[in-house]
Structure 1
Amino acid sequence: MKPLLGPRIPIPRNAHIYPLRTSPNIIAPLTVAVPPSLKPIALSRTLRNNLFNSTLASTHTTSTDVQPGLFLQPPNQATASGTQSTPMQEYHKLVASGALSSDDYQTRIIQKLQALHDLLALYDPPPPAGPPSLLSRLFSRPAPSATNTDRPQGLYLYGDVGTGKTMLMDLFYNTLPARITRKRRVHFHAFMLDVHKRMHAAKAAGAGDPLEPVARDLASEAYMLCLDEFQVTDIADAMILRRLLDALLERGVVCVFTSNRHPDELYKNGIQRTSFLPAIDLLKTQFDITDLDSGTDYRRVPRALSHAYFSPLNSDTRAAIDAQFSALTKGIPVKDGATIRLWGRDLTVPRSAGHFAQFTFAELCGRPLGAADYLELTQRFGTLFVADVPRMGLGEKDKARRFITFIDACYESKTRLFVSSEVPIFEIFSDDSSATSGAPVSDHMRAIMDELSLPAEVVGAASMFNGEEELFAFARCCSRLVQMGSAEWMEHAGMR
């Protein structure tokens, strides 16, 4: 894409509603006055959702996914000088405050986000499209493939666990130019759930090709799309992603994705992967593919752990976790056996009070619940207590997978978590029979554990997992449990 210079800079159709700065080619952003007393932690759930305009499995949920202790300003907040904050300015503020360490490699990534930010300040996207008329459906030609030449190139940021992907995305999203009101920041898994729901509704309404109206509506709602943790594991997602991405790009949607995988590694060894290869080619040609791995794991920065995890399972532990629940819910009526509706099914909540709920491991992971259920549950309750988590071996592999999915949902929803377990939380995935038999541990698993700075005993967990994706999911779960057990997480998470 050629840079837009001098008189070649396009003037937006709606430029008359924005005041001009001294340079006739620069459009001044609208500022948002935020009272000094307004702190992010005190925002109501509705206001937070509106501020961040982020969607999870349903329209009322949000996932800002900001690193604990790094809660940025509300998006588009004006700085003291009256000009709007930018990604580079916010990054320097975090470094100056000591919240982040100076990192030359990460600074170069911020420069890419800054460059995209500057292009978006001048970008004039196509207007929202309404439903096509009968004549246009009869005589229109097929849309060309991702050839919107005015659209700035998207970014695809990938790197291992702890490279700061989510922090960078939120920093970018929260400093988008104020004129960008059609925007969305969402976790990839939740985004695909939303897409499938929309396609189902389109089919029910009689659409011949349900993907077209879905892409049209998504583009009309947001021309700036930020997807966190782009990782394809489902064949249904793989089959539609190429056409969906192509349709969104053609409609002028600018995308920023984060992922743990280079595009070539996506859906590796997946069923009918050849059908997904065109999506990989699209990512590689339409996005700036950027590796975030600078050798620094930002989750390994020492943090003081709070008392979030209790073990072993005995009367003292149960009394301690019950006392924690009572202290946090003091003054709130406690309900026993309340029923909530999750995706057409009833789920009994053994004990709840406002945004606090308590379950046993068997009630959460001993029944066929999935990611959508856990995401919805974590949106309803900001603080969850999970009691009686056992050590899991090969016989409990399905339960172990559900628990990992549950932890992922808690992490994405910024849920505060308290757990009582049979063994220390990082040993629950250890297959006891293999651990005591002296079974060898793979070099690959040792490397993962070393990188995450986890206790040596956790390496025994390798015996119950096999396959690259399983090992990665396990490692990510352990890393997130470390972060969710920190005092910073306990202080900032759980706000509803």
Structure 2
Amino acid sequence: MTLEETYAARLKDGTLIPDPAQAAAIKPLEAVRAKLAEGTKRSLFGRAKPAEDPMGAYLWGGVGRGKSMLMDLFHETSPVPSRRVHFHAFMQELHEAMHEARARGTRDALAPFADGVIKEIRVLCFDEMQITDIADAMIVGRLFEKLFAGGVRVVTTSNRPPDDLYLNGLNRTLFLPFIEMVKTRMIVHHLESPRDHRQDRLAGAPVYFVGGGALDELWESLTDGRSEGLTLRVKGRDLRLEDFSSGVARASFKELCGKPLGAGDYLALARAVRVLILTDVPVLDRAHGNEARRFITLIDALYEARVKLIVSAEAEPEALSSGGVFEFARTASRLREMQSADWGA
């Protein structure tokens, strides 16, 4: 089935809600799928010819517009071996593989990893491309060059247009050729819909629960019960989220605030997720000073990034700090503000 046929079938059975902007975004994805369906062309000497344009699609737009859903449809209907992975998780794999290659004395540490991808798949689907780390910025261009040269097409989603990737980053001029590559070798499409389907799923639903709540149901609704996990590499350490799918994460207070994490960890988390379901937040007394400070830092990071926060806690925000031991007034105020229906980038 073509993507248009698959999309129409999902509309007919009620799985999807009609959205003209999503229907328009199907066309560039189908152009890439059709190229893949043509198969690899051969020269007169039997060698594979270099892959032709378009080498992929770059689908960008606001949160909740359906980018990940459309990419999943593309992945499902791919006529060739395809891999779907969150961008941060893939870059983590790449950095680890390059570290191992350097330890073996490999001259070009990127090459073995890229060659392995080229042997295994013909299309790579990246969800939520964001370039915020200089290490990623310095190698992603070479990675795409190698993949394209090996005939691997790339489909990616992002909240930003290509020109805004790694904006204000260190040595950004070195990154500009990659932006040009994206704009010339891939189909760039803006999914410009006024409708936030993720907010629709949360419409009318509370996002702050005292003494428990229907968080499992919310998780199922936002992720369709799927979890791929996510590992964030922060200053040489791994921050692992077992429950993660398409920008939605779920973690307990103990997992995020009961461990020796710092501002860098929470900033990386805030960049990687658009919705966080945070469970089992206790009342914080004098004996939990470290946990309280981490919680304050976590909320600050989520607030500044306008992450949608869903919480289950033992008490209302103003009562989470017993006896006023901590500088908690700002955190309580932010927790209240983040409950508003229009909160979230």
TM-score, normalised on structure 2? 0.67
Q: Is the 8 A contact 2:83 2:125 kept in 1?
A: yes
Counterpart among 402, 419, 423 of residue 312 in structure 2: 419
Amino acid paired to 1:360: K
Quick check: 2:87–2:128 contact (8 Å CA) kept in 1? yes
Alignment of 1:326-337 (within 5 A): none
Deviation at 1:432, TM superposition (A): 3.7
* TM-score (ref. length: structure 1): 0.48
| Aligned twin of 1:242 | 141
Q: CA deviation at 1:454?
A: 3.3
Mean Cα deviation higher: 183-192 or 360-369: 360-369
1:420 and 1:265, CA in 2 relative to 1: closer, same or farther beyond 3 A?
same
Pick the aligned partner of 1:198 from 97, 111, 128.
97
1:229 aligns with 2:122: no
Please say if residues 208 and 312 of structure 2, whose CA atoms lie closer than 8 Å, have aligned partners that are also in contact.
yes
Residue 70 of structure 2 corresponds to: 168
Q: How far does the alpha carbon of each residue in 1:43-102 deviate from its partner, in whole angstroms, 9 at most, with x for none?
A: xxxxxxxxxxxxxxxxxxxxxxxxxxxxxxxxxxxxxxxxxx332122112212233232
| Rounded Cα–Cα distance in structure 2 between residues aligned with 1:90 and 1:434 | 45
SS in 2 for 1:226: strand
Where 1:295 maps in the other structure, the secondary structure is: coil
1:273: Cα distance to partner? 0.8
Q: CA offset at residue 422 of structure 1?
A: 4.6
Pick the structure with greater CA Rg.
Answer: 1
What secondary structure is seen at the aligned counterpart in 2 of 1:360? helix
* Structure 1 range deviating more: 117-126 or 225-234: 117-126
Shift of 1:214: 1.9
Residues 1:388 and 2:282 are matched in the alignment:
yes
Aligned residue in 1 for 2:340: 454
Aligned partner of 1:107 among 11, 15, 23: 23
Secondary structure of residue in 2 paired with 1:186: strand
Classify the secondary structure of the residue corresponding to 1:289. strand
CA-CA distance at 1:388 after TM superposition: 2.2
Partner-residue secondary structure (3-state), 2:194: coil
SS in 2 for 1:231: coil
The one-letter amino acid paired with 1:160 is G
Q: Which residue of 2 aligns with 1:260?
A: 159
Contact 2:296 2:331 in 1 (8 A): no
| Aligned position for 1:30 | none
What residue in structure 2 maps to residue 278 of structure 1?
177
Q: How far 1:188 sits from its partner (Å)?
A: 0.5
CA contact (8 A) 1:159 1:260 kept: yes
Normalized per residue, which structure has more strand? 2
CA shift at 1:399, angstroms? 2.6
Q: What displacement does 1:117 show?
A: 1.7
Q: Secondary structure at the match of 2:32?
A: helix
Gaps of 5+ in 1: 1-84, 127-146, 312-316, 326-341, 348-355, 375-382, 412-416, 437-448, 459-474, 477-496
In 2, the alpha carbon distance for the partners of 1:151 and 1:287 equals 7
1:89-104 matches, cutoff 5 A: 89-104=5-20
Alpha-carbon distance between aligned partners in 2 of 1:215 and 1:404, rounded to the nearest angstrom: 37
Amino acid at match of 1:419: S
Partners in 1 of 2:11 and 2:122 — Cα distance? 30
Question: Are the equivalent residues in 2 in contact too, given 1:361–1:386 (CA < 8 A)?
Answer: no
Given the superposition, is the C-alpha separation of residues 398 and 303 from structure 1 closer, same or farther in structure 2, using an over 3 Å criterion? Answer: closer
How far apart, CA to CA, are the structure 1 residues paired with 2:71 and 2:39? Answer: 19
Amino acid in structure 2 at the alignment position of 1:194 = E
1:400 maps onto 2:302 in alignment: no
Structure 1 counterpart of 2:7, one-letter code: Y
* 2:77 alignment partner, SS class: coil
What letter is aligned with 2:62?
D
Q: Deviations over 1:301-354 (max 9, x none)?
A: 25577787423xxxxx2xx57x999xxxxxxxxxxxxxxxx999899xxxxxxx
CA distance in 1 between partners of 2:25 and 2:331 (Å): 43
- Mapping of residues 7-406 of structure 1, within 5 Å: 85-124=1-40, 148-150=50-52, 152-177=54-79, 180-181=80-81, 183-301=82-200, 303=202, 309-311=208-210, 317=211, 320=212, 359-360=253-254, 363-364=257-258, 367-368=261-262, 370=265, 385-388=279-282, 398-400=297-299
Matches of 2:74 and 2:24, distance apart in 1: 14
Q: Secondary structure at the match of 2:18?
A: coil
Gaps of 5+ in 2: 43-48, 217-232, 240-249, 270-276, 285-290, 322-327
Distance 1:149 1:174, change over 3 A: closer
Residue 367 of structure 1 aligns to which amino acid in structure 2? L
Shift of 1:287: 0.6
